[in-house]
Structure 1
Amino acid sequence: MADNAVTKGHFKVCGKEFPEVTWFTRSNLRATYLLLFFVVLTSATNGYDGSMVNGLLSLDQFTSYMKGLSASIKGLFSGIMFLGSLLALPITPYIADGLGRRWGICIGSIIMIFAVVLQSASVNFSMFIAARFFLGFGVAIAHGAAPLLITELCHPQHRAIFTTIYNTTWYLGSIIAAWLTYGTNQIPSQWSWRIPSIIQALPSILQITCVWFVPESPRWYISKGQNEKALHVLAHVHAEGNADDELVQLEFEEIKETLKIEKEAEQTGWLELFKTKGNRHRLLILISAGLFSQWSGNGLVSYYITGVLDGIGITDPDTQLIINGVLNIWNAIVAITMCFFVEKVGRRPLFLISTAGMMLCFVVWTICSERYDATKVKANGSAVVAMIFLYYTFYNMAWSGLLVGYTVEILPFSLRAKGMCYMFAFVDVALFFNTYVNPIALEDIHWKYYIVYCVWLAFELTFVWFYYIETKNTPLEEIAKHFDGDAALVGGAAATEKGRVLEQEIHEKEAVGEHQEKI
């Protein structure tokens, strides 16, 4: 296991400590992080869509235009987007690894813009469904590249915070959509739902315009043999252009040697995550994180808050929209705040506190729902609303930001794009199931459906306790040591025993090749 002891005010790379860096005092780092805001918009776009769906289902103008929506149709209305995402996943790593992280974001954004145009111009339910399928397809491609670029570009000291922030911006998009649909509810025409749909294209337009000003991943450049470009990016972002900086040189050598070793070991296929003990451990975390992030009861509120609130006597559309809007603001505050505690508290403690808190809140939520159903006492319904807010407080301690922040960092470069596809695939499977089943279950068995989530959350807590490990204060390439031990493929000054052996073999082969060329 890697030694995580770090002196206060320092961070560690390749076993060497460096003084902490204040990002806003360095012009290049400051500019890069501001530009990365446009990369982060991929997650915000996803959040906008989730909240917009909730909002549209609360608009009489929308439901009447679509000529009534049954519970199963509501499920298809939301779930088809996740089916589109699922079908796009097999090609996303080839775009991100083959064309680059920036091209992945751009291609996904172009598809999303096409989908928004189709969605906004819809004249019937079938046309709207088709648009949402393509929207999911585009989101998956952009999602498959955006977090990779952030993780591989950030300064090692700030990587954990920035990658965790990525997924929390889901709520920023959600807030905008929630309050926008609340406002357009006052428009007595089809524009009440077409306006929110049209505005959904704005983040994608901004991404296409601005992503080219963001430097490409230095790790991707090295993987394509463009070492000089990689060194230039590392120097520009991490050392204000000084290519001779000690940190830049250590990073460059570690990344270069590690990628060379991974390539030599040929650990790049879809089945690699099944072949070693360390990779199987990674795969269990990827699958569980994808499922737990959506199968923890949050899907009930994220897409069907109207059904939950109907069940406790809150049926006024304006009131439902206000609760949805305020909840999203609270979620954003908690989620973004917790990003700054990832390195201080650690990933594992946050996951455990978050999951245990959700379980307790959901038990109380279920009891209050049953009491309201039996007595119709308004106080019990109000208690459910309070539990929803408290539940999301715990959810956002870990599962919002660390869903991407933790899973992307535990993967070596050669498996990072494909590994994230496994995680996102199970997110989409869970979402597709939830969005189709939740409205039907809520309509048929009401509060009794919550019992399923109470039991499931107890299982989640047990699983997290046994399988989620701590990775704080560890450079990106060196996280492999936590999973693979001495068998980890790490090069440079932090090389493991196996890494050094493979590194030596590679250098010997190169020397033989150079000798034969001379002959």
Structure 2
Amino acid sequence: MGAGAVATGGSSTEGYAHLIDPNRKWYNNRRIITLHAWIVLLLITSSTNGFDGSLLNSFQSLPTWQSYFNNPTGGRLGLLNAIQNIGSLAGYPFAPYLSDGLGRRPAIWIGSTIMIVAVALQAAAQNWSMFIGARFLIGFGLSLATNAAPLLVTEIAYPSYRAPLTSLYNSLWYSGNIVATWSTFGCQYISSNWAWRIPSILQGIVPLTQFLLIWFAPESPRYLICKGKEAEALKILAYYHADGDENDGLVQYEFQEIKAAIELDRTVASNVGWKALIATPGNRRRMIIIVAIAFFSQWSGNGLVSYYLKDVFDSIGITDHTIQLLINGILAIWNLFWAVLASFLVERLGRRLLFLTSAAGMLLFFTLQTICSAQYALHKTDAAAHAVIAFIFLFYASYDIAFTPLIVSYTVEILPYQLRAKGFNVFNFAISLSIIFNQYVNPIALGALAWKYYIVYCCWIAFEFAFCYFMIVETKNLSLEETAALFDGADAQRNITNAVHEVRHDDYVDEKTSDSYTPTNELKA
């Protein structure tokens, strides 16, 4: 399957690659720099998610927090970890309708507003119920913002940078992770409840920034075209992708291709509503891949470290809370490094190679982690405990080269525009289900089976590798519309190509590629 996809994708990029000005780079063009600044505002949505996902892991190693909430354990601790995802589940039915109905920007703004209120409640929490309610609202707001933000990133990015920037979205989860873990590490020396209230307040920085600035960012041209606002969409494409030239070859190609793809979706009666996600063989294959990688992203053994690192440390004799917080903080930096590195290699190495390498590495290092955990359980040696920590770091390096950067970018790029918000919502829903399962089952299984529970994940990761080998389709160097058509057969690709034939290379002479052309460096203007 993968080989066929590669072959298909190899020539498709010729449709627009010759129209990209080789002299227009992210560092020498003022409007692309501005566009990337807006994209950063969208990318940090994932930082909020990472902050929240790491906060409670750090709080569990914080004596003041444990004391204030009466040392939650068992089902009480499981509810505390799961309630944010329960809030996300409550928000998912609304998320795609806000993204598709009101637009990407309004959905992000509404989500940010809810999160600001929730963060204030969490930081001021006076009891368990208030803290739980705040976390539910955080999850609800996150579901709205995280549905729209990556869609907007991939739909406004300059073609040359779309894949790495979209991959950076989920990679920046770890930037929030870093702020959460290190702020908690620093606040542990505060003897009052401000030790956990200050990190809670910091969680509001990103949503407040988005609340204030999101309306100044560009809206998705695909959304605007879908709503009949073609002139506005063309103006945005031209302003950011061609210095305002609406007749630029690349802009015209993008504009016509988006129009053709959206019109093609509209002419197919089945491409309406949720049923469309499974109405055709191409869509069914999309959904199988999307749901699978969503569960893989949480069921690869990483859930043990993400939410119950304290229990893992306790099981190998590392009980000092300062050491636990320190290792957690270093691990966050390590993860960010590998995830960002992989994001910039997406177009060079391809999605398929990264997925297979990631799964193989996870299987190897998680198996070694299991063996060393068993050795510590049997012999209580420090060497075995230290080896477990080392293999946790190596496991995460493997995990981060695909299952951090690619799960979001790959999901949004294989979905056609009409199904993108709904399909991505299904992806987020599947992640929440898998996380909730982890948060309730993992602590019980760890308590009952200890290191033997790791064997289950070893077998599961082996299945993940097999799935990726047979199911992952290469999408390297394709536009969004070409990638979506890849799943729908040659006819769909041919229809889109024919719809934009007026901007073929033979019919378009771009003055920017002539020998006499000298690019205007806007930074010098």
Q: Which TM-score band applies after superposition, normalised by the shorter structure? A: over 0.9
Question: Structure 2 CA distance, aligned partners of 1:339 and 1:12?
Answer: 23
Note closer, same or farther for the CA distance 1:460–1:3 as it changes in structure 2 (3 Å cut).
Answer: closer
Equivalent position of 1:264 in the other structure: 267
Question: Structure 1 CA distance, aligned partners of 2:235 and 2:19?
Answer: 23
* Alignment match of 2:9 (pick from 4, 23, 41): 4
Answer yes or no: is 1:54 the counterpart of 2:48: no
Note closer, same or farther for the CA distance 1:15–1:117 as it changes in structure 2 (3 Å cut).
Answer: closer
Question: Structure 1 CA distance, aligned partners of 2:202 and 2:18?
Answer: 48
Unmatched 5+ stretches in structure 1: 498-519
* Alignment match of 1:298 (pick from 299, 302, 327): 302
Question: Structure 2 CA distance, aligned partners of 1:212 and 1:379?
Answer: 54
* Alignment match of 1:282 (pick from 283, 286, 308): 286
Equivalent position of 1:517 in the other structure: none
Contact 1:120–1:194 at 8 Å: present in 2 too?
yes
Aligned residues: 494
Answer yes or no: is 1:27 the counterpart of 2:61: no
Equivalent position of 2:252 in the other structure: 249
What letter corresponds to residue 233 of structure 1 in structure 2? Answer: I
Contact 2:153–2:165 at 8 Å: present in 1 too?
yes
Note closer, same or farther for the CA distance 1:78–1:234 as it changes in structure 2 (3 Å cut).
Answer: same
What letter corresponds to residue 66 of structure 1 in structure 2? Answer: F
Answer yes or no: is 1:200 the counterpart of 2:196: no
Equivalent position of 1:230 in the other structure: 233
Equivalent position of 1:186 in the other structure: 189
1:16-73 superposed Cα distances (whole Å, 9 cap, x missing partner): 5544441121111111101211111110001111221111111110011101211222
Equivalent position of 2:401 in the other structure: 397
Note closer, same or farther for the CA distance 1:132–1:67 as it changes in structure 2 (3 Å cut).
Answer: same
Question: Structure 1 CA distance, aligned partners of 2:259 and 2:141?
Answer: 32
1:302-381 matches, cutoff 5 A: 302-381=306-385
Answer yes or no: is 1:119 the counterpart of 2:122: yes
1:320-376 superposed Cα distances (whole Å, 9 cap, x missing partner): 000000000010011001111100100011000001110111111001001001100
What letter corresponds to residue 162 of structure 2 in structure 1? Answer: R
1:381-420 superposed Cα distances (whole Å, 9 cap, x missing partner): 0000000000000000100010101010000000000000
Report how far residue 474 of structure 1 moved.
Answer: 0.6
Report how far residue 489 of structure 1 moved.
Answer: 6.7
Answer yes or no: is 1:456 the counterpart of 2:460: yes
1:444-480 superposed Cα distances (whole Å, 9 cap, x missing partner): 2211111110011011111111111100001110112
Contact 2:16–2:250 at 8 Å: present in 1 too?
no
Question: Structure 2 CA distance, aligned partners of 1:15 and 1:237?
Answer: 17
Equivalent position of 2:98 in the other structure: 95
Note closer, same or farther for the CA distance 1:453–1:496 as it changes in structure 2 (3 Å cut).
Answer: farther
Question: Quick check: 18-27 or 144-153, which moved more?
Answer: 18-27
* Alignment match of 1:83 (pick from 81, 86, 93): 86
Question: Quick check: 156-165 or 475-484, which moved more?
Answer: 475-484
Answer yes or no: is 1:384 the counterpart of 2:376: no
Answer yes or no: is 1:469 the counterpart of 2:486: no
What letter corresponds to residue 9 of structure 2 in structure 1? Answer: N
Equivalent position of 1:513 in the other structure: none
Question: Structure 2-normalised TM-score?
Answer: 0.91
Report how far residue 13 of structure 1 moved.
Answer: 3.7
Question: Structure 2 CA distance, aligned partners of 1:321 and 1:251?
Answer: 48
Report how far residue 88 of structure 1 moved.
Answer: 1.0
Note closer, same or farther for the CA distance 1:245–1:63 as it changes in structure 2 (3 Å cut).
Answer: same
Report how far residue 443 of structure 1 moved.
Answer: 2.0
Question: Structure 2 CA distance, aligned partners of 1:464 and 1:488?
Answer: 25
Kindly, what percent of the aligned residue pairs are identical?
47
Question: Structure 2 CA distance, aligned partners of 1:292 and 1:462?
Answer: 12
Unmatched 5+ stretches in structure 2: 502-525
Question: Quick check: 120-129 or 16-25, which moved more?
Answer: 16-25
Question: Structure 2 CA distance, aligned partners of 1:490 and 1:271?
Answer: 25
Question: Quick check: 223-232 or 65-74, which moved more?
Answer: 65-74
Question: Structure 2 CA distance, aligned partners of 1:470 and 1:35?
Answer: 29
Question: Structure 2 CA distance, aligned partners of 1:84 and 1:127?
Answer: 14
Question: Structure 2 CA distance, aligned partners of 1:315 and 1:325?
Answer: 16
What letter corresponds to residue 477 of structure 1 in structure 2? Answer: E
Contact 1:12–1:18 at 8 Å: present in 2 too?
no
Note closer, same or farther for the CA distance 1:33–1:221 as it changes in structure 2 (3 Å cut).
Answer: same
Contact 2:75–2:440 at 8 Å: present in 1 too?
yes
Contact 1:181–1:196 at 8 Å: present in 2 too?
yes
Equivalent position of 2:111 in the other structure: 108
Answer yes or no: is 1:428 the counterpart of 2:444: no
Question: Structure 2 CA distance, aligned partners of 1:471 and 1:343?
Answer: 9
Contact 2:365–2:395 at 8 Å: present in 1 too?
yes
1:230-249 superposed Cα distances (whole Å, 9 cap, x missing partner): 00000011111111100101
